Structure 1
Amino acid sequence: MRTRFHEDLEQLAQQLHTMCLHDRAAIAAATGGLLHADLEQCERAIEICQELDILRDQCEHSTMALLALQSPVAGELRKVVTAIQLVANLHRMGALTEHIADIARRRHPEHAVPASMAPIMARMAAAAVAMATAAAAVLASGDPDDAAQIEAQDDTIDRLHRELLAAVLDDDDEDPSKAMVVDVTLLGRYYERFADHTVEVGRRTIFMATGSTPEERSAARHLVAPTSVQQQYHNR
């Protein structure tokens, strides 16, 4: 019975990994559509996001079956419940990506982002794709140390988001329309929230693997590691 449970749990882990790979492919396609006014890439991103709806339903069915039929306890239950939360994060990443692609598609054949702000947006997008790549790798490996590194990458997105908002307020090179200002502001927010959800993927992976939150795990490490004074005392 437990062998079947662990096989089903492994299948669920693979489904989550597939969802994250779809998120990465979608954000990369949406970014190409946005920066190059490429309608085909926009449509591709939206198609991938629609596929994510199907994957979400499959994952939810898998988790409900595990809860109803396998009666998981302790660490097993933690993994299933965390998987439910991960499904929500991964699906939200797709929804945010679809918003990005939709803005780019709506402005086609024009560019949704003015040339003066395109470099910042490109760096934000590249960071978001990198974070999605890292999240997929973490879901595949389950390594809590690698998962902890994702949060550090979020600082780059936050900094670029602030730069983008400053550029919107201080833009002297062009006179963008109110619609473009709204679009750029929303786009920055979508990328920033996408990155936040990849951070949650990392945090939930840590909890799934260790049973501790990132903060608890960090605190425990500091307690275990002796200070230099303690080391000198024990060496006497």
Structure 2
Amino acid sequence: MREVFQQELREVQDRLVEIASLVTESIEKATQAFNESNVTLAETVIADDDKIDAAAYELDELAIQILARQQPVARDLRIVVSALRISASLERMGDMSTHISQLARYRFPEKVVPKKLRPTFVEMGRLDVEIARMLTELLRTQDTAIAEAIRNEDDKVDALHLSVFDTVLGESWKGEAVDTVDSTLASRYHERFADHAVSIAKKVQYLATGDWIPSDS
């Protein structure tokens, strides 16, 4: 029975990696669609979100079955419960990619944000893609150094997010109301994508070390 249980735990990990890979592909396409005003790519991201949702649902069902059949305790219980929470965060990351793509679709054939802010969003998108790639590797390896790297990249996303607000609230901002709304929404989606990755990284770090990282550190 113990061997079967360990096999099920490995399957949970494999499925988390699979979902993270789907999320990485999603944010790669979403940021490209956003920056290039590529409506075809945006539609692909929106349609493919169902795959992420389905994979997360299937993982949740597996985790619930494990809890019911195996009744794990101590660290094994934390692993299964953490998998449920990580799955939810990954699903939300997929939603953020979808929201970014929806903005690109709504504003097509125009770019979503004014020219002044486009370099900021290109960099924010690059960081989100890098974070997603690191997160996939973290879930595959449980290497806590990767968790720290994700937190460092998130700090850069946060700084860019704040710079967008500084720009749209500044006296020199000449954008229309729709530009202000779209820019702040897009920035928030990018920032939340990275925040969910940090949340997952903290859970993996805790499982690996037993030490919980406070939210403000």
Q: TM-score, normalised by structure 2?
A: 0.94
* Residue aligning to 1:209: 208
* Whole-angstrom CA distance in 2 between matches of 1:106 and 1:67: 43
Equivalences for residues 52-71 of structure 1 within 5 A: 52-71=52-71
1:47 positional shift: 2.4
1:171 positional shift: 7.1
Cα distance, 1:61–1:41 mapped onto 2, change above 3 Å:
same
Cα distance, 1:39–1:171 mapped onto 2, change above 3 Å:
farther
1:74 positional shift: 1.0
1:208 positional shift: 1.9
* Residue aligning to 1:186: 185
* Whole-angstrom CA distance in 1 between matches of 2:180 and 2:155: 24
Gaps of 5+ in 1: 219-236
* Whole-angstrom CA distance in 2 between matches of 1:171 and 1:111: 23
Query: What is the SS of the residue equivalent to 1:170?
Result: coil
* Whole-angstrom CA distance in 2 between matches of 1:122 and 1:190: 14
1:97 positional shift: 1.2
1:104 positional shift: 0.8
* Whole-angstrom CA distance in 1 between matches of 2:165 and 2:29: 24
Task: Give CA deviations for 1:11-67 in whole Å, capped at 9, x if unaligned.
Answer: 111111111111111111111111111011101211232211101111111100110
* Aligned amino acid, residue 25 of structure 2: A
Cα distance, 1:171–1:104 mapped onto 2, change above 3 Å:
farther
* Residue aligning to 2:196: 197
Task: Give CA deviations for 1:133-152 in whole Å, capped at 9, x if unaligned.
Answer: 11111000012232222112
Q: Percent identity?
A: 32
Query: What is the SS of the residue equivalent to 1:98?
Result: helix
* Residue aligning to 2:25: 25
Runs of 4+ in 1 over 6 A off after TM superposition: none
Tell me how large the CA RMSD over aligned residues is: 1.5
* Whole-angstrom CA distance in 2 between matches of 1:48 and 1:139: 22
Equivalences for residues 1-236 of structure 1 within 5 A: 1-170=1-170, 172=172, 175-214=174-213
Whether contact under 8 Å (1:75, 1:211) holds in the other structure is no
* Aligned amino acid, residue 149 of structure 1: A
* Whole-angstrom CA distance in 2 between matches of 1:103 and 1:35: 11
Task: Give CA deviations for 1:150-188 in whole Å, capped at 9, x if unaligned.
Answer: 112111001111111122223747x42211210110000
Q: TM-score, normalised by structure 1?
A: 0.87
* Whole-angstrom CA distance in 2 between matches of 1:36 and 1:146: 30
Larger radius of gyration: 1
* Residue aligning to 1:223: none
* Whole-angstrom CA distance in 1 between matches of 2:80 and 2:89: 15
1:199 positional shift: 0.5
Count of equivalent residues: 215
